[in-house]
Structure 1
């Protein structure tokens, strides 16, 4: 069996298992397991995740690491934007863990993470990397992992041009607040896997049966974010992780499943998997 056939089999197994794929937001972290690290991704797989979501930054020297910029003060104890650092500076950084204790865990390189999970029973969403897509896609191709990767972006013309040129076979999800953006994406020769949809209210077109069924007729996946980022941001009209855990799972995760969304991103993959399997 070649690598592409292996990846297709994995995707079929995931869909046959539950009909819903679970994406782990920055892996699964806590205590001495730190977000956006190999440890967090291994933990996510143990918690039942199908997709590992990770963020990519580039140093001023052109090397790639896994980190969500803006999180520097809490995670590595500096106010400096990690994207303005040299490779040596990033390699010398050490994390604070969930108890705010400094530990020896370094910021993981993109190459190390890709190679570690190559051929594993999971898909990988390389998120927040569109600033550097030409080099990121070349790295993905260098590792021979185009069939295991999902790329996301806000579907700017420049991003789509680079994707069509460098990685037309890589699965792609535009991040949508407006369905009209899909028309722009379809003008490019890219592998449109589906779309990540964001909506603040239940009357949004992304919640309509017509839109969801139309995407499914076109054999496209719909990704929604159950993650709770803060007290005010709504990515799925309030049907999120916090409301599931603290109020009613049926009204939160169950609402998303019943609507027919195909991929749910969460910070609590085991709880979500257990809930879905128990339905």
Structure 2
């Protein structure tokens, strides 16, 4: 079991997934292939159908307090407009349409994702910490504490918000140093279930195998990134998606798995799921969306 014993009930879904297969595959912003836009409900659906065990998404808030899925700073790419969603009213955001998608797709509201995927889907909620004073009470209304794994930088202001909030969402902070790891260990008021380690090179202190062993010894998972971001900065010592897709996956995803990753974040969930099955014999999660009446009956039955 990962996490503190006092939070075992809220962490039950997270631990159930880890008991079935490791590493878990976290799809970065869902799967935006073809003309499906990332950070949308369709991207979440596509990621799950491609074998993802967890879906990461980003959050923005309109100036009048409505939450949407989008990575701020990507508005020009998404809409071919020089806008900042955080400065627009909700009605203005709802009127926007993505450039490269099917059926004239609008921006996805966070509440719509919560309604559509309540049940057994794990989400990694990124770039939301600025809004936690309002976002956490908003999420409370959906009774999804076990599904929402929060993340943030290791900063006192964000940790204090988690301490004060009565619903103890699972938390995996982003650590850039050994001091960050030490700062989050052993806090009884934060539901720490793991740590995301960020290391530029193999000589980085966080890339030492002993760090992962220490996390496991403390009952915590290790999340490692295979992502290749536009800025070109390695997220974990260069053992990444590009290495895995265009070179030898043993040097990318395989290296991360051997290093002890319990969760790998990727932009290629289908290929990683196939590779994981090849080397670990672990079948990908089979996701079949229930009809809405069936899903509603399950939630209320």
Output the TM-score relative to the length of structure 1.
0.92
Q: Is the 8 A contact 2:23 2:264 kept in 1?
A: yes
Deviations 1:106-153 (A, max 9, x none): 101111111111103x21111000110111111111111111110000
Which residue does the alignment assign to 2:111?
111
Q: Within 5 Å, which residues of 2 pair with 1:115-264?
A: 115-120=115-120, 122-167=121-166, 169-186=168-185, 187=187, 189-230=189-230, 232-264=232-264
Q: How far off its partner does 1:183 sit?
A: 3.0
Deviation at 1:73, TM superposition (A): 0.8
Output the CA distance in 2 between the equivalents of 1:273 and 1:17: 14
Query: What is the aligned partner in structure 2 of residue 68 from structure 1?
Result: 71
Matched, 1:15 2:18: yes
Q: C-alpha separation between the residues in 1 aligned to 2:202 and 2:182?
A: 23
**176-185 vs 18-27, greater mean Cα deviation:** 176-185
Structure 2: state its 5+ residue gaps. 1-6, 280-301
Aligned-pair CA distance for 1:10: 4.2
Give the gaps of 5 or more residues in structure 1: none
Give the secondary structure class of the aligned counterpart of 2:104. Answer: coil
Counterpart Cα distance in 2 of 1:243 and 1:20: 18
Q: Is contact 1:18–1:277 with CA below 8 Å preserved after alignment?
A: no
SS in 2 for 1:27: coil
Displacement, 1:224?
A: 1.0
Cα contact 1:127–1:151 (8 A) shared by 2: yes
When structure 1 is superposed on structure 2, of 14-23 and 80-89 the one drifting more is 14-23
Between the aligned partners of 2:267 and 2:166, the Cα distance in structure 1 is: 29
Q: Do the aligned partners of 2:145 and 2:167 also contact (CA within 8 Å) in 1? A: no
Q: TM-score, normalised by structure 2?
A: 0.85
Task: Report the Cα distance in structure 2 between the residues aligned to 1:199 and 1:265, rounded to whole angstroms.
Answer: 14
- 2: CA distance, partners of 1:278 / 1:267: 19
Distance 1:31 1:112, change over 3 A: same
SS in 1 for 2:172: strand
Aligned to 2:4: none
Deviation of residue 12 (structure 1)? 4.3
